[in-house]
């Protein structure tokens, strides 16, 4: 006997979780960068803030305009 048609499960909850996770990461990155800038301004008043080296990426990266930050870990 043929089973009756059932609609497939919806992907809405999964998509919602992915969207929330993405924007959580964006907001977290913005907060991290702002804290970095504030700490640098406190330590070096009146100077321009250098670019922040990526925290979770250890591979090679290139800066198009500006100076390459020194090697080492980012500290709060």
pLDDT digits (tens, 9 = 90+) for 30-68: 999 999 999 999 999 888 888 777 777 777 766 666 666
* More confidently predicted of 29 and 61: 29
Q: Which tokens hold the place of 41?
A: 């301004």
CB of 32 within 8 A of CB of 55?
Answer: yes
Token pair belonging to 73: 């870990």
Give the integer Cα–Cα distance in Å for 17 and 23: 10
What residue has token string 């290139």? 62
Which residues, in sequence order, are CB contacts of 61 under 8 Å at separation 6+? Answer: 54
DSSP structural state of residue 14: H
pTM above 0.85, yes or no: no
Question: Using one digit for the tens of pLDDT, what is the confidence trace for 2-19?
Answer: 899 899 899 999 999 999
């Amino acid at each position: 006997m043929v089973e009756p048609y059932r609609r497939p499960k919806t992907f809405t909850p999964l998509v919602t979780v992915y969207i929330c996770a993405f924007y959580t990461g964006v907001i977290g990155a913005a907060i991290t960068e702002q804290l970095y800038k504030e700490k640098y301004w406190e330590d070096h008043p009146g100077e321009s803030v250098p670019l922040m080296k990526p925290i979770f990426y250890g591979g090679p990266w290139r800066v198009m305009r500006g100076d390459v930050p020194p090697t080492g870990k980012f500290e709060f």
